[in-house]
Amino acid sequence: MSLVGNSLHCEGASELVTALATVCEGVDEQTKPPLSRLHLQDNGIDVLGERGLVETVVFTRMLKRWLLSSEVVEEVDLGGNWIGDAGGRELLTALQERKEAGLKAVRLTVTHRMSAENFAAIFELGRVGKRKGGKKRGKEKKEVIIIFSQTCRATRLGVARKPRRGQGSVSLRFSELEMARRTVVILVAWLGLLTLLALCITIKLTSSSTGDSLLREDRRRLPDPPPVRDVLRPGLGMLEKSEYVASVVNTLLNSTETHDQRAAFEQVVALSSLLPRLTNISRLATPSPEAFRNYVAPVGLPVIFTDMLKGSRLQKWSWDYVRAKWGHHVFHNTRQGNYSSKKSASGKYSVNRVSITLGDFIDVATGRREPRVSEVGLYITKQKIIPPEDLETEFVYPPFYPGPHKTCYLEPTAWIGAPGTFTQGHIDSKDNFAYQILGSKQWTIFPPTDYKYLYYVQRAGSLEWSTALNSFTVPDLKKFPLFARATPITFTMESGEVLYLPRGWTHTVRNLTPALMINTWRYGPAAITELWSKKNGAEIRQKCFPSH
């Protein structure tokens, strides 16, 4: 069967291979399966596609099922597709089990775009040891023949050597013209990078000397008001690890002529858009409520607090504790990165949501049991796993708005997932306090000024706006050229840390391990401009902004 150059994608290919496997499993010993060759080159089976890793794993598992149920299959061609590392591991398992069972050799064509470990493992699987004496001449060898389509970097892996005599045949296709072309492209790219680096260093040295002279001239002209300095200076000790924040406050100290706290706040916000971009996230001890409201929140920068959960019940949580306490509750879960929890424009609910108990989900996420096909890629998102009656004893709100102002926080929600699950890039409409309870997560965030480079679209669901990019790590710059101008900041959060993320910051989050995060939102100072213009903003301001 040849379906070369169609657009089956993962979903269509999965249905096809599932049907083949079902037929083979129902064939008796007297009847041979109907299909021995399957060609699916260039069918858009891509780990970076719209559904990403989930559908790719489903497809390769169905392909594995067919390979293990058919005795006559001779050739499978997946050239021009991208099954990724997860798919490569599934095929490796199928080929190894088939070889151990003594089934007929399979000619398998795959792309080289996978990790060095998987590449080398597939290569070695095709090698055959020396023949033992006494075997009949012409007897069929039990081996797997691997052909890698496109150009591959086998030399770097130390496996691009000709097989010795008696080791079977493993053929690698190399295109000398393609290798030469890529070598030239790499050399030109390195030359351009070195030239750009030299130019940046020259500009930096020139602008530094010019900026110092201008700053000295400005300091001679502008007054230095002690009241404002006395108000803002204590915040520098807490934020000294962030060069960006220090430069904002220092610029304010040397340029403002007002003693009014509200005007000082407005100048900080205005100046923050003119200064160099944030390049890292500061990790700080938890400040006092006054210090947070006066020096941290008005600047509008993300900060990680390292000790906010110290001594709280949240610090004592474990997977077993959560499972025992709330494992019987049933939740509606999304597949990774999908937030279609509400009705769409057609009035129908999304089919990407699956019901499962919290206990079963934790078993799948932590690897205690293998997921069913319907459970692959599930991700608990924005679920209220803590019942209202347990909030007082189990959860601790951020201490920055004590007393009655705690009611400005929204009820906490949970985000639980297995390694590799992620949330798509989006913007929150409120300030976010994210508690990393168990495991670790990798965050990639973008400042509000990068909004125009991230291709936002309005989607149905609980997130009003999310980016159209499927991946920030390997973006399609031909389809999204403006993304090259964005300035992402990537960092990892470990258990026990709390992230303060002001509204307006685009963020996408990926689980590095089985992870549990609890978050709560609040209308913060970053939303003052919007709230001031609303008719019902007076009540919110009086309740949530006692200092304004």
Where is mean pLDDT largest: 200-204, 380-384, 478-482? 380-384
Question: What tokens does 78 get?
Answer: 């997946």
Kind and range of the H or E element at 185?
helix 176-221
298-308 burial, b for 16+ CB within 10 Å, e for fewer? bbbbbbbbeeb
Domain match, 497 and 357 both:
yes
SS3 235: helix
Residue 178 banded pLDDT, cuts 50, 70, 90: low
Residue 58 has pLDDT above 50, yes or no: yes
Q: Residue 2 domain-assigned?
A: no
Q: Of the residues 299, 315, 347, which one is the last residue of a structural domain?
A: 299
pLDDT surpassing 70 at residue 204: yes
C-alpha span between 359 and 362 (Å, rounded):
5
CB 52 within 8 Å of CB 337: yes
> Does 401 lie in the same domain as 265?
no
Residues 445 and 426 in one domain: yes
Q: Which of 299, 330, 348 is the last residue of a domain?
A: 299
- Clarify whether residues 151 and 209 are in a common domain: no
Q: Which of 247, 273, 299 is the last residue of a domain?
A: 299
Please give the Cα distance from 91 to 82 (Å, whole number).
Answer: 13
pTM above 0.85, yes or no: no
> What count of other Cβ atoms lies within 10 Å of the Cβ of residue 425?
26
| DSSP annotation of 296 | I
Residue 4 falls inside a structural domain: no
Q: Which helix (H) or strand (E) holds 134?
A: none
- Tell me whether residue 382 is in a domain: yes
Residue 150 carries which DSSP code? S
Domain that holds residue 520: 303-544
CB atoms within 10 A of CB 135: 9
* Residue 35 and residue 73 in one domain: yes
The reply to whether 314 falls in a domain is yes
Q: Is residue 341 part of a domain?
A: yes
Q: Give me the count of residues in the chain.
A: 548
Domain co-membership, 293 together with 341: no
Return the axis-axis angle of helices 53-69 and 9-25, rounded to nearest 10°: 20
Three-state SS for 364-381 is HHCCCCCCCHHHCCEEEE
Pair (164, 226) in one structural domain: no
CATH code of 513's domain: 2.60.120.650
- The answer to whether 248 and 242 are in contact (CB under 8 A) is no
Most confident of 25-29, 235-239, 509-513: 509-513
pLDDT digits (tens, 9 = 90+) for 320-348: 999 999 999 988 776 654 444 444 444 44
- 311 and 289 fall within a common domain: no
Residue 318's identity, in one-letter code, is S
- Are 295 and 347 in a shared domain? no
Domain tally for the chain? 3
Whether 461 and 342 have beta carbons less than 8 Å apart is answered as: yes
**How far is 515 from 421, CA to CA, in rounded Å?**
10
Taking 50 as the threshold, does the pLDDT of residue 16 lie above it?
yes
What is residue 148's three-state secondary structure?
Answer: strand
Least confident of 63-67, 212-216, 295-299, 314-318: 212-216
Query: How far is C-alpha 517 from the geometric centre of its chain's CA atoms?
Result: 15
Query: Is 480 in the same domain as 495?
Result: yes
Residue, of 506 and 499, whose pLDDT is higher: 499
Residue 445 sits in the same domain as residue 463: yes
Residue environment code for 388-424, b if the CB has 16+ CB neighbours within 10 A, otherwise e: eeeeeebbbbbebbeeebeebbeebbbbbbbebbbbb
Considering the chain, what percentage of its residues have pLDDT values greater than 70? 57
Indicate if 331 and 295 belong to the same structural domain.
Answer: no
Q: What is the CATH number of the domain that holds 41?
A: 3.80.10.10
Segments in 240-318 forming alpha helices (H) = 243-253, 261-272, 289-291
Residues forming a β-bridge with 492: 442
According to DSSP, residue 82 is labeled B
Is 409 part of a structural domain of the chain?
A: yes
Greater confidence (252 vs 436) lies with 436
CA distances (Å), origin 45, targets 121, 463, 464: 22, 28, 29
Query: What is the H or E stretch that residue 85 is in?
Result: helix 84-100
Nearest Cα neighbor of 43 from 85, 13, 1, 83 is 13
